[in-house]
Amino acid sequence: MRIALAVLIALGLLLAPAVTPFAKAADEKSEKKKEDKKKKKDSDGGGERPVEMKDLNREVSRIIRELQFALEGGSARSVLELVDSAKFDDYPRFEDMVERLTREDSIRAFFRQVHTAPSLAEGKAQTILDAEMELSRKDGAGQLTRRRQQLVLDFEHSRRGWRIVNITPRDYFQPL
């Protein structure tokens, strides 16, 4: 038994130098991969990848869908979260208008994207919507009112993602 153990130890000592070059090659490969990743990250400008057209269309469609659901759900907060308050001209007035609209009226909204014009290099985009909205007072006073209009939404990309920075015309969101 002791002889077998001594033979195994001797073989281990003999084979150890033969294994070392393979381990060294594996370490060199992993170091090279780490360096390549670092170089790629540095050349990308910190790891951010440029915005692609299909990503933009997907994001704009998502925001429009969320806007529709937020209006129908009567959630002013959800509507206003889609807007960049720092860049949106006369934001306090728009905020008040949306809060009154969602508080006082029941809404059914239909939005159809007609056209999206990106300016990906600048991180901006613009989309045109055919918008229809059915409004009725929550207190039951009054008839059902329909609004049909074409809206232009301007978007900008920030570190928080795509946000609405302008809506034209804004009076579309006036409460009854």
Q: Is the pLDDT of residue 59 over 80?
A: yes
Instruction: Name the more confident of 17 and 12.
Output: 12
Q: What is the pLDDT of residues 89-105, one digit of tens each?
A: 999 999 999 999 999 99
Average pLDDT, the chain: 82
Each domain of the chain, given as residue ranges in start order, spans 1-48, 53-173
Mean pLDDT of 40-69: 72
Instruction: Tell me the mean pLDDT in the region 105-114.
Output: 94
What is the tens place of the pLDDT at every residue in 112-121? 999 888 886 7
The pLDDT value given to residue 172: 93
Q: What is the pLDDT at residue 141?
A: 73
Handedness of CA 48, 56, 107, 93 (dihedral sign): positive
Q: How much of the chain, in percent, has pLDDT values that exceed 70?
A: 70
Residues in a beta bridge with 54: none
Q: What pLDDT is attached to residue 45?
A: 46
CB of 88 within 8 A of CB of 96?
A: no
Burial of 71 (0-12, 13-18, 19+ CB in 10 A): buried
pLDDT score for 158: 85
* CATH number of the 53-173 domain: 3.10.450.50
Residue 135 has pLDDT above 90, yes or no: yes
| Backbone phi and psi for residue 65, each to the nearest 5 degrees, phi listed first | -60, -45
Q: What is the mean pLDDT of residues 66-88?
A: 95
More reliable by pLDDT, 165 or 31 = 165
CB 127 within 8 A of CB 113: yes
Helix or strand or coil: residue 149? strand
Q: What is the pTM of this model?
A: 0.68
